């Protein structure tokens, strides 16, 4: 018929939309845990308990629970009453996140306002069976017969348990019959802990000294954390954010800083807490380097997201912390890999370079102060060692010259840091200056005395040679008295200790060379002397 129109009908939504959506949104088996924990957070729970033992997963919270209408609405697919501006899970699909990891899902909930217990049942095994039958039909060339409504109405339902006190107020989620692909991962303590630490708004660990201070700032911003108890088999314990004092080189000497993130007209996007390593090096734990985006306490992407916004990656790798997003218009996308694209996200992204530059300046100032302290400590120790050794080196001219150069180098190293150290450690700087001044004076005095001693020795030897020449008898005969030798000359005029003997011989050697002797004549004298010494010694 001309002009007739065929509208889209419920039968046109195939049943396979369920595995397509759940697989696309929850690629990691552990994402299902995140979704159910998010529901507990949205319910204002004060504590969550997660038990995996071994093919049953149960998650219990003490939140507000659900009344009859809320429980009925919870089983809907792709329809949610939650506000995306106020809650984490809002797409009406999160409750189906266990579809790919278990055979059945049961939810028990009880609200303080209602008093009745309600049970929601999801027969995921039955749904998968029907989907396999539908695939078999199509393989035989038969037309599709299984649409989404029919698929779910046979396998998903809600029932009232009256005032039965199942477990007090709140909600319990039970996943039974874990599939082989999920069983191993869910029973791996290390994998589960590492995942939850990064995606759940956990409190800080007791062995992170700045944790309580940061949590106080969280409370000022109306940002909640929630304790989580985990048990897998016989292993159990409370989970915390992954930050500890051991993350830092020297156990964390610098308190965290808080940076506000604002746009035009003072538009609030959130805030960041940041800690910097207390050594001028990257944080060793690669998984904790950089900043992690958080919305409602849950992670957005990973720590690589913000690194490109740093002018240099240096400080992105020397810091750790989180960017806490509070703006209601910044909505996480389904995969939690980014925020949905809108004008608010665009403006937020333009503010990130400003944030990273502010962090750069803060971190650089701290680490330059660290560098100044290191140089001060090192040079002070060097000066102490020099001062202790100087009394033993009064006659060692070479070592004195070496220490004189070393003191100059110490002053050169400290020079760029003096102004900063005047504010950081004025007493330490003053002590260093006094040591350098004192050591310098001792070295110069010792060098001056050494020079005076050398000059005196040279003068005495020269006079002795002149006296010997004047006392030598003159004779016209062919025979003359035996000349006085150098050894006798020095022994007669200069009774010296061993050190001055050596210095006297050196002076005599210079005197002999200075008698305008030809090099070959001087060398002949030396060779003759060596021959005599070889013969007599």
Instruction: Answer for the pair 256, 273: CB distance below 8 angstroms, yes or no.
Output: yes
Q: Give 281-322 pLDDT, tens digit per residue.
A: 899 999 999 999 998 788 899 999 999 999 888 888 999 999
Q: How confident is the model at residue 469 (pLDDT cuts 50, 70, 90)?
A: low
| Three-class secondary structure of residue 311 per DSSP | coil
Query: Is a pLDDT exceeding 60 seen at residue 131?
Result: yes
Region of 42 on the Ramachandran plot (φ > 0 left; ψ -120 to 50 alpha; else beta): alpha
- Measuring CA to CA, how many Å separate 532 from each of 122, 126, 508, 514, 529? 113, 115, 18, 23, 5
Q: Rounded to a whole number, what is the distance in angstroms from the first to the last CA of the chain?
A: 135
311 CB-contact burial (10 Å; exposed 0-12 / middle 13-18 / buried 19+): exposed
In sequence order, what are the beta bridge partners of 229?
49, 238
pTM above 0.75, yes or no: no
What does the angle CA 42 – CA 46 – CA 51 come to, to the nearest 5 degrees? 90
Percent of the chain exceeding pLDDT 70 equals: 74
**Residue-wise DSSP of 415-480:** GGGHHHHHHH-HHHHHHHHHHHHHHHHHHHHHHHHHHHHHHHHHHHHHHHHHHHHHHSPP--SS--
Nearest to 33 by CA among 166, 197, 156: 197
Query: Is a pLDDT exceeding 70 seen at residue 466?
Result: no
Q: Give 241-292 pLDDT, tens digit per residue.
A: 999 999 999 999 899 999 999 988 888 999 999 999 988 889 999 999 999 9
Query: Is a pLDDT exceeding 50 seen at residue 409?
Result: yes
* 276 Cβ contact list (under 8 Å, min separation 6): 254, 315, 318, 319, 362, 363, 366, 367
Query: Is a pLDDT exceeding 70 seen at residue 201?
Result: yes
Query: Is a pLDDT exceeding 80 seen at residue 104?
Result: yes
pLDDT of residue 452: 60
Residue 286, token pair as written in the block: 């690669």
Neighbours of 3 (CB within 10 A): 4
* Helix 426-471 and helix 397-414, axial crossing angle in degrees, nearest 10: 150
pLDDT of residue 85: 44
Cα dihedral 12→15→17→20 (10° resolution): -150
Phi, psi of 86 (to 5 degrees): -120, -15
């Amino acid at each position: 018929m001309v002009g007739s129109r065929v509208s889209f009908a419920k039968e046109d939504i195939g049943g396979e939309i369920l595995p397509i959506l759940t697989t696309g949104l929850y690629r990691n088996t552990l994402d299902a845990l995140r979704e159910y924990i998010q529901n507990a957070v949205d319910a204002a729970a004060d504590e969550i308990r997660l038990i995996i033992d071994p093919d049953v997963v149960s998650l219990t919270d003490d939140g507000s629970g659900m009344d009859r209408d809320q429980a009925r609405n919870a089983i809907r697919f792709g329809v949610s009453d939650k506000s995306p501006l106020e809650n984490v899970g809002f797409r009406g699909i999160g409750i189906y996140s266990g579809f790919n990891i278990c055979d059945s899902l049961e939810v028990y909930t009880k609200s303080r306002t209602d008093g009745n217990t309600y049970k929601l049942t999801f027969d995921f095994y039955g749904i998968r069976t029907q989907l396999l039958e539908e695939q078999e039909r199509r393989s035989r060339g038969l037309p599709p017969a299984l649409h989404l409504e029919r698929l779910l109405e046979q396998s998903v339902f809600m029932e009232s348990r009256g005032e039965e006190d199942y477990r007090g107020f709140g909600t319990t989620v039970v996943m039974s019959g874990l599939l082989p692909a999920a069983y191993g991962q869910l029973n791996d303590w290390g994998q589960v802990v590492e995942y939850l630490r990064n995606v759940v708004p956990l409190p800080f660990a007791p062995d992170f000294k700045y944790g309580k201070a940061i949590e106080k700032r969280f409370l000022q911003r109306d940002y909640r954390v929630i304790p989580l108890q985990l048990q897998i088999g016989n292993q159990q314990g409370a989970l915390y954010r992954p930050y500890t004092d051991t993350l830092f080189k020297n156990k964390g000497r610098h308190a965290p800083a808080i940076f506000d993130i604002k746009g035009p007209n003072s538009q609030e996007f959130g805030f960041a807490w940041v800690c910097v390593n207390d050594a001028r090096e990257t944080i060793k734990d690669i998984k904790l380097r950089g900043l992690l985006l958080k919305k409602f306490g849950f992670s957005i992407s990973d720590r690589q997201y913000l690194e490109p916004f740093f002018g240099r990656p240096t400080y992105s790798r020397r810091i750790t912390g989180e960017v806490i997003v509070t703006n209601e218009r910044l909505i996480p996308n389904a995969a939690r890999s980014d925020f949905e694209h809108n004008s608010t996200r665009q403006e937020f992204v333009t503010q990130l370079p400003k944030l990273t530059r502010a962090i750069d300046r803060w971190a650089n100032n701290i680490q330059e102060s660290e560098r100044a302290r290191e140089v001060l400590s090192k040079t002070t120790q060097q000066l102490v060692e020099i001062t202790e050794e100087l009394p033993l080196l009064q006659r060692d001219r070479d070592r004195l010259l070496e220490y004189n150069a070393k003191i100059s180098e110490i002053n050169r190293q400290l020079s760029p840091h003096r102004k900063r150290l005047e504010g950081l450690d004025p007493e330490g700087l003053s002590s260093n200056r006094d040591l350098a001044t004192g050591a310098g004076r001792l070295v110069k005095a010792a060098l001056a005395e050494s020079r005076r001693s050398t000059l005196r020795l040279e003068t005495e030897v020269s006079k002795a040679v002149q006296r010997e020449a004047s006392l030598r008898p003159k004779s016209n005969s062919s025979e003359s008295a035996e000349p006085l030798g150098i050894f006798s000359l020095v022994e007669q005029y200069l009774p010296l200790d061993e050190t001055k003997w050596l210095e006297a011989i050196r002076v005599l050697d210079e005197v002999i060379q200075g008698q305008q002797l030809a090099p070959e004549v001087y060398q002949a004298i030396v060779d003759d002397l060596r021959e005599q010494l070889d013969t007599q010694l």
